[in-house]
Structure 1
Amino acid sequence: MVSPAQKDLVVSAVLQGSAIWKAAFNCGDANGCAAQYEADAVMHARPFGTFTGTAEIAEFWQKIMNDGFAAVEYLDQTIAVIDANSAVLSANWKMNQASGLIHQELWVLQPDGTAKLREDDFEVTGE
């Protein structure tokens, strides 16, 4: 059982990590986005493919940004705490040229107290 205080800590870290990721994306900073993932994270970007590690993830986000995608927003966001060190974020999302679903962002607390993405599973469902 996760104590209420630990649950609050996990949720706060996830919200902060997610806000940093969105700010980096909206500023066109692919490396800033990739910095919010663990070094060996796995990202399933439907229909584009699977990307492993921060270098591949940064390349993916850079291409998306180069193609003119910007202004990401999360809608109907939920965070489910799994244990004392991790939580899953899910949401709908939209940006200037696309929209879709975040099926699962698995955020894990790091030794410094921040949360980073270990797994990211999202899809584009519309423009």
Structure 2
Amino acid sequence: MNTDPTPLAQCKAGIAAWQQAFNRQDAQACAMQYTRDAIMEAKPFGVFHGREQIAQFWQDIIDQGFHSVDYSDVDWQPSPEGGFILTSKWTMNKAYGVVHREHWIVEQDGLARLVYDEFEVLGEK
């Protein structure tokens, strides 16, 4: 359990929960790390609105055999709109890319979730 109540620590716990959900191949749990009305721009695949579309995207990726996501060069910056912006590089077993902008906010229930997610696949492994 997260014992550090700061918003940044909550956001870091949110990305850790998303990564764990993906690595155990649980698309619904991945989608629960997004706000109800989140927008996800997955380049070159398209733009997905809301948890249902986002869950379907992650399920499709999982069904294609993608797993083992890891992040590097992670940077967190405060957002002028509240919450924090994460940028990073990422790798999976079959692809790699960059996170251009993940906007994490802490919701009323005290959990951090993505309100906006923009990432790009740069290549295949």
Question: TM-score, structure 2 length as denominator?
Answer: 0.92
Quick one: which of 57, 60, 63 aligns to 1:63? 60
Cα distance change, pair 84–101 in 1 and its aligned pair in 2 (3 A):
closer
Q: For each residue in 1:56-106, what CA deviation from the matched residue of structure 2 results, as whole angstroms up to 9, or x when unmatched?
A: 000000000000000000000000012584100010000000000000000
Percent identity, please.
43
Cα distance in 2 between the residues matched to 1:15 and 1:106: 12
Q: Runs of 4+ in structure 1 displaced over 3 angstroms?
A: none
Say how many residue pairs are matched: 120
Aligned: 1:95 with 2:68: no
TM-score, length-scaled by structure 1: 0.91
Q: Name the SS of the counterpart of 2:66 in structure 1.
A: coil
CA deviations over 1:20-77 (Å, ceiling 9, x no partner)? 0000000000000000000010000000000000000000000000000000000000
RMSD, aligned CA: 1.3
The residue that corresponds to 1:29 in the other structure is: 26
State how 1:1-127 maps to structure 2 within 5 Å: 9-83=6-80, 85-127=82-124
Structure number with higher helix proportion = 1
